[in-house]
Chain A
Amino acid sequence: MALLEVDRLRVEFPTRNGTLTAVDDVSFTVEEGEVLGLVGESGAGKSMTGAAIIGLIEPPGHIAGGEIRLDGGRIDALRGEALRKVRGKQIGAIFQDPLTSLNPLFTVGDQLVETIRTHLPLSVAEARRRAVDWLAEVGIPAPDKRIDQYPHQFSGGMRQRVVIALALCAEPRLIIADEPTTALDVSVQAQIIALLKKLCRERNAAVILVTHDMGVIAETADRVAVMYAGRLAEIGPVKQVLEKPNHPYTAGLMGSIPRIGPRPERLIQIAGSMPRLSDIPAGCAFNPRCTRVFADCHVHRPRLAASGDGAVACLHYEGARP
């Protein structure tokens, strides 16, 4: 059984002009110790999918359908204490801005000690020792001194290291990292990604890495799920998705990324932009921009169909027709 199963997940937002579906019938699994990249353009529903898994969707948004299972047990309908036990203990979170995860009024040590003691049966002294170890582990120099400093006394990259320590110190099985390096300098991004990957590998924790940066995915993920307009367009092993993408959207996306190397005259471009949630076309959501569109695409909404070692939601593939 997979560690995490997301099954036909649907997240909705009621608005004055009707209901918006931010995550629409999304299914995937994450195996123990695996890094799953979740990619797609702004508004595709990546963060919403991550938030649904940790139970952090802000009302009026809500899970309107489907199930999320961790180790086979449902976690999508948990409330209160039960939710808190899963969030933090079983599933850790790392967000784009380290300051949202750190309390400016408490020292880094206080925050680590509190998190450790919430989830593990340790005394204050033991938890503090463990906190120092964690700071050392994430590469903070002189951890026994820095433990008593406040978040503002750390640089951006160092803060994100602290957040990684906070997310991992309760020994969770799954980490949801939502654009963990987007706010950082490019030369620091690589350090943080490498650190996250190493620590999770060592502890056999799985990671859902949400990002719009295909380069980060290429260097980190085992498998990739590509989202478009709230739906899953394609999922598969990283090599397959990046080098032999099946879905026309993934193919266009990969072609439109500038690369280092001989300078082309033009970049491949996908016409138009992703539709707003309020006007997603009938049939395949990608049909207005697709180079391989045919009559059926305006009528049938493709399902995920197995292809190679992955799956693709495009009517050109057998099994995609509903």
Chain B
Amino acid sequence: MTRTMSLAARRPAGTAPLLEVSDLRKHFALPRPFLNRVLQAEQHQLVRAVDGIDFTIERGKTLSLVGESGCGKSTVAKLVMGLIGTTSGRIVFDGVDLSHAPAGAPAKLRRRMQMIFQDPYASLNPRWRVRDIIAEPLQTYRLCASRAEETREVDRLLEFVGLNAKDGDKFPHEFSGGQRQRISIARAISTKPDFLVCDEPTSALDVSVQAQILNLMREMQRELGLTYLFISHDLAVVNFMADWIGVMYLGRLVELAPAETVFASPQHPYTRLLLDTIPDLTMARRGREPVAGEVPNPIDPPPGCHFHPRCPFAESRCRSEPPQLRETVLGASTACHAVEEGRLPPAVASGFAGGAIPTDGAHLLGKIAPPDQQLVG
């Protein structure tokens, strides 16, 4: 029927990727101010939030999407979860195409996919007791034969995530942010999913609590064999969680590679920029020159390579032709003309070789881009 299906079908059962996403797009229409509409006889502006991305996630592994605010990470998460419909493209979960299935269906597959949100305050119903919050998916999918079994299961889940069975009778406001995120996790794993979408699950938490939640998530992956789509803008968090990393920029994947490769030999100039802007705990980079420019507006992204206005390696081809994701090194793919043409100086490893972060991040980028003036405003 389709390429992805046949590809999956050729492999022995259970070894095909759990999730395969191809040419996924989501465009939002923004209503124009009335006057513009009349004057320009134009109805809408398009936000190309997700503009043609492909990735797969192997069973039991973690793919992390990273990128700055507005690049489309959460939109990908919602598309995969079926919370919003796709504009085009395919989402295949365990061999079944979900892209055109109505939300919530097919229930059997949806039970196996759950989501953890960034804000543990907003995602829990404040008027429900924690016990009922966790039991709701159990009831929706009729996973417990009796009330007693449900109670036992909720108690077990609470203890699994490091809370107390007694906590089930409390309300969300009686818990700290980290404890609330544990409650969200207990709820998410109550249906025994094999796939969790985690959208910035620790961004609202303090570092000491973040460490607890990240440790819990890694343990759950080991014990339950979970597969994660893990979204974060924090590269150090991603380094701890991810097997694979997808770097997004304005709705597109610019680099998709095994995590070690991204950190050891980042290819795309934007990936290098991101690595270069991580504040460094070793104090080695005090006084470095920061990289200039800002993320442009996704309503009217630059033509060609979206990154070209900020890129020190941009040439005329970059301004007109969008680069495709192509295999580069070690199973990594990069969407960059300069990389493809071999015009890029090799990036030097950060962190892995000697355990130390290089003293001056500027070498990652080769040369620092001049302040980008057209992006302002």
Q: Which residues of A contact B (CB under 8 A)?
A: 41-42, 139-142, 146, 149, 153-158, 185-191, 193-194, 212-216, 218-220, 238-239, 242, 252-271, 273-274
User: Given A188-B294, A190-B277, A260-B263, 20 more contacts at CB 8 Å?
Assistant: A42-B177, A42-B206, A141-B371, A141-B376, A146-B377, A187-B291, A215-B278, A218-B279, A219-B283, A219-B285, A238-B283, A253-B208, A256-B207, A258-B210, A260-B357, A261-B357, A263-B259, A267-B240, A270-B208, A270-B211
Count residues of chain B with CB under 8 A from any CB of chain A. Answer: 55
- A261 near B355 with CB under 8 A, answer yes
- B76-84, B93-101, B229-237: which lies at the interface: B229-237
Q: In the bound complex, do residue B206 and residue A218 qualify as a contact, i.e. CB atoms below 8 Å apart? A: no
Annotate B189-215 by CB proximity to A: 1 below 8 A, 0 otherwise: 000000000000000001111111011
Q: Which 5 residue pairs of A and B lie closest in terms of their CB atoms, listed nearest first? A: A215-B279, A256-B211, A190-B290, A41-B206, A261-B351
Identify which of residues 140-163 in chain B touch chain A, using a CB-to-CB cut-off of 8 Å: none
Bound together, the chains give a CA A34 to CA B357 distance in angstroms of 26
Any A CB within 8 A of the CB of B123: no
- Contacting residues, chain B, for A219 (C-beta < 8 A): 279-280, 283, 285-286, 288
Residue of B nearest to A161 (CB): B376
Asked if A252 contacts B208 (CB within 8 A), the reply is yes
B54 is an interface residue with CB less than 8 A from chain A:
no
B65 to chain A, nearest CB (A): 14
Task: Return chain A residues, CB-CB under 8 Å to B237.
Answer: 258
Chain A residues near B373: list those with CB within 8 A: 141-142
The B263-308 residues at the A interface (CB cut-off 8 A) are 263, 273-275, 277-283, 285-286, 288-295
Say yes or no for B359: interface residue by CB 8 A criterion: no
| A185 engages B69 (CB within 8 Å) | yes
26 A-B interface contacts by CB (under 8 A): A41-B208, A140-B376, A141-B376, A142-B373, A146-B377, A155-B377, A156-B294, A158-B376, A186-B278, A187-B277, A187-B293, A187-B295, A191-B290, A191-B292, A212-B207, A214-B207, A214-B279, A215-B278, A219-B280, A254-B281, A257-B236, A258-B240, A260-B236, A261-B351, A262-B352, A273-B206
- B129 contact set on A, CB distance < 8 A: none
> Are A158 and B377 also in contact (CB < 8 A) when A256-B207, A259-B236, A259-B239 are?
yes
Answer yes or no: B334 CB below 8 A from chain A CBs: no
User: Contact: A215 with B290, CB < 8 Å?
Assistant: no
A187 surroundings in chain B (CB, below 8 A)? 68, 273-274, 277, 291, 293-295
Residues B283 and A239 in contact, CB atoms below 8 Å apart: yes
